[in-house]
């Protein structure tokens, strides 16, 4: 008897290719394929990746109490996260993993995490991401530092203690490293960690409250990108990265910050945090200035609004020449008479200037309109020969904004476009402002003004 001729399209795909398809699904989604047919019952166990993400489920608190303090959290079908993950591990047998991703914050139990992570650490592991918040800090197994020859991407986020053993084989293949909010066993742990990452290209470091001062010595000849988020003052930072192309700094700038050898830097972003406890803003302004001096060779620079405010407290503000600067994002809160004009003087090749009116803190709003921009009679070279685009975000139509735009329009000989994106509060005033803008004398006859 001839059965129906409907071809089983998938049966001619070997197991390896089916598991390759399933590797593009999350583990939860892949497990669901186990009931497609008897062949499929175990195909998902061949996928060399595991991603266990508590956010993939909808949780409810059951009435049952897990321990005396917290209620048991279960998904709609009544399983806890631990039950789900334990089941998955049990069925996978010992197939070594290439990628292991764990996102577990609620009721995170370090004993389970240790079991799973220890099993995942093999010489085949390529990517490891832990985003956990156990009630007791989780000690990274020391095997991580000795068996991960093929690890390319490592991301540790949360209540994790990093303690590299004195002699470790390290991470000869590691290119990407995220250390977010982790704790260090002692003040040299971080530096020791980095010495076992000989080919690291991307480092993302977030430092939260520290108990004692830690040394963050980043001497990496291969590093191309560095993101720093320092939410505490207790640190010592040294950066020596001759191959660095992108640098981002967000947070509190401590006294001892050493930047060396950043001549290949292409783009830098500096968002210094406002600190209410900083008594001497002149000193802080100097720190910001020192940081910026090291960025003299960049092509693209973005300064946040607190950063630019601190700059106005620098006595004898004397920025370096930014010979290569072509794209400049200047966020500001209120008019800082000398900072922007002087920076423009020092950026002869500037092509695109983006101004962004943002929130600030140091000056009260009443001073906004009283200060006038201090453009000297010497027209900055960039305005007379290079600047082709000007963008203004958060535009409110205030007097000092119109003044600034007026100044620039008068001097910008080759300006092609000016785009204004307004603050939502300005809607009704748009027409008045537009009329005023159109009346401004423009040095560049081809300049087009657009209003968003």
Partner 1 sequence: MKFCAVKQYFDDENNNNITSGASTTMIPLPNVESHPLAILITYCKKHLKIKANNADNKKETEKEMEQYEQELLKKVMPQELTELILAANYLNFKEALDFFCRAVASAIQNKSIEFVRKFFGLESDFELGEEEKLREEFAWSFEGVDED
Residue choice 46, 48, 53, 56 for contact with partner 1 (CB under 8 A):
56
Cβ-contact 266, 300 below 8 angstroms: yes
Q: Is there binding between residue 29 and partner 1 (CB under 8 A)?
A: yes
Tell me the closest approach of the beta carbon of residue 57 to partner 1, in angstroms: 6
Q: Is there binding between residue 7 and partner 1 (CB under 8 A)?
A: yes
Q: Is there binding between residue 61 and partner 1 (CB under 8 A)?
A: no
Among the listed ranges 64-72, 76-84, 375-383, 426-434, the one in contact with partner 1 (CB under 8 A) is 76-84
Among the listed ranges 15-23, 275-283, 419-427, 440-448, the one in contact with partner 1 (CB under 8 A) is 15-23
Site string for partner 1, 333-352 (x = CB under 8 A): --------------------
Nearer to partner 1, 58 or 63 (CB): 58
Tell me the closest approach of the beta carbon of residue 192 to partner 1, in angstroms: 33
Q: Is there binding between residue 12 and partner 1 (CB under 8 A)?
A: yes
Q: Is there binding between residue 90 and partner 1 (CB under 8 A)?
A: no
Residue choice 2, 38, 377, 445 for contact with partner 1 (CB under 8 A):
38
Q: Is there binding between residue 126 and partner 1 (CB under 8 A)?
A: no
Q: Is there binding between residue 57 and partner 1 (CB under 8 A)?
A: yes
Among the listed ranges 79-87, 110-118, 160-168, 208-216, the one in contact with partner 1 (CB under 8 A) is 79-87
Q: Is there binding between residue 324 and partner 1 (CB under 8 A)?
A: no
Q: How far is CA 413 from CA 237, 407, 440, 444, in A?
A: 43, 12, 14, 5
Please, which of residues 390-429 interact with partner 1 by CB under 8 A? none
Residue choice 22, 270, 355, 383 for contact with partner 1 (CB under 8 A):
22
Residue choice 6, 68, 69, 435 for contact with partner 1 (CB under 8 A):
6
Q: Is there binding between residue 77 and partner 1 (CB under 8 A)?
A: yes
Cβ-contact 131, 158 below 8 angstroms: yes
| CB neighbours of residue 113 within 10 Å | 21
Nearer to partner 1, 3 or 428 (CB): 3
Q: Is there binding between residue 72 and partner 1 (CB under 8 A)?
A: no
Q: Is there binding between residue 258 and partner 1 (CB under 8 A)?
A: no
Residue choice 48, 53, 75, 204 for contact with partner 1 (CB under 8 A):
75
Q: State phi, psi for 21 to the nearest 5 degrees.
A: -60, -45
Q: Is there binding between residue 93 and partner 1 (CB under 8 A)?
A: no
Tell me the closest approach of the beta carbon of residue 413 to partner 1, in angstroms: 29
Among the listed ranges 27-35, 197-205, 234-242, 384-392, the one in contact with partner 1 (CB under 8 A) is 27-35
Q: Is there binding between residue 37 and partner 1 (CB under 8 A)?
A: yes
For the chain, state the CA radius of gyration. Answer: 28
Return d(Cα 107, Cα 82) in angstroms, integer: 10
Strand 71-75 to 59-65 pairing:
antiparallel
Nearer to partner 1, 12 or 67 (CB): 12
Nearer to partner 1, 86 or 410 (CB): 86
Q: Which residue has the tokens 């006859």?
A: 445
Residue choice 79, 89, 147, 233 for contact with partner 1 (CB under 8 A):
79
Residues forming the site for partner 1 (CB under 8 A): 6-13, 17, 20-25, 28-29, 31-38, 40-41, 56-58, 75-79, 84, 87
């Amino acid at each position: 008897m001839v059965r129906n001729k409907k071809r089983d399209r998938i049966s001619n795909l070997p197991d390896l290719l089916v598991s390759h398809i399933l590797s593009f699904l999350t583990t939860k989604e892949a497990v669901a394929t186990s009931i497609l047919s008897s062949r499929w019952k175990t195909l998902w166990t061949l996928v060399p990746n595991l991603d266990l993400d508590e956010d993939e489920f909808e949780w409810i608190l059951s009435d049952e109490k897990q321990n005396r303090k917290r209620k048991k959290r279960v998904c709609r079908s009544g399983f806890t996260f631990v039950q789900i993950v334990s089941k998955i591990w049990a069925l996978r047998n010992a197939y070594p993993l290439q990628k292991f991703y764990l996102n577990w914050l609620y009721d995170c139990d370090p004993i389970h995490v240790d079991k799973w992570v220890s099993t995942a650490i093999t010489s085949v592991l390529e990517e490891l991401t832990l985003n956990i918040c156990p009630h007791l800090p989780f000690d990274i197994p020391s095997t991580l530092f000795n068996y991960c020859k093929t690890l390319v991407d490592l991301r540790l986020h949360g209540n994790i203690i990093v303690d590299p053993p004195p002699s470790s084989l390290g991470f000869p293949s590691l290119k990407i490293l995220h250390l977010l909010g982790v704790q260090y066993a002692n003040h040299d742990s971080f530096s020791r960690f980095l010495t076992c990452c000989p080919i690291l290209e991307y480092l993302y470091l977030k430092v939260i409250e520290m108990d004692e001062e830690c040394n963050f010595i980043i001497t990496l000849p291969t590093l191309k990108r560095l993101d720093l988020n320092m939410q505490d003052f207790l640190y010592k930072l040294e950066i020596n990265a001759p191959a660095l192309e992108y640098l981002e700094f967000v947070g509190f700038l401590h006294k001892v910050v050493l930047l060396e050898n950043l001549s290949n830097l292409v783009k830098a972003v500096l968002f210094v945090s406002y600190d209410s406890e900083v008594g001497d803003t002149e000193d802080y302004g100097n720190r910001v200035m020192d940081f910026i001096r090291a960025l003299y060779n960049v092509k693209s620079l973005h300064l946040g609004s607190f950063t630019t405010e601190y700059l106005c407290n620098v006595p004898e503000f004397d920025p370096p020449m930014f010979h290569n600067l072509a794209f400049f994002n200047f966020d500001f809160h209120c008019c800082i008479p000398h900072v922007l004009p002087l920076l423009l003087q020092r950026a002869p090749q500037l092509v695109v200037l983006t101004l962004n009116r943002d929130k600030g803190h140091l000056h009260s709003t009443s001073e906004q309109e009283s200060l006038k921009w201090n453009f000297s009679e010497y027209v900055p070279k960039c305005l007379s020969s290079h600047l082709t685009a000007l963008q203004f975000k958060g535009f409110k139509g205030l007097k000092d904004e119109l003044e600034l735009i007026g100044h620039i329009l008068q001097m910008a000989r080759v300006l092609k476009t000016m785009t204004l994106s307004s603050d939502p509060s300005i809607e009704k005033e748009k027409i008045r402002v537009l009329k005023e803008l159109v009346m401004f004398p423009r040095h560049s006859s081809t300049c087009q003004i657009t209003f968003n």
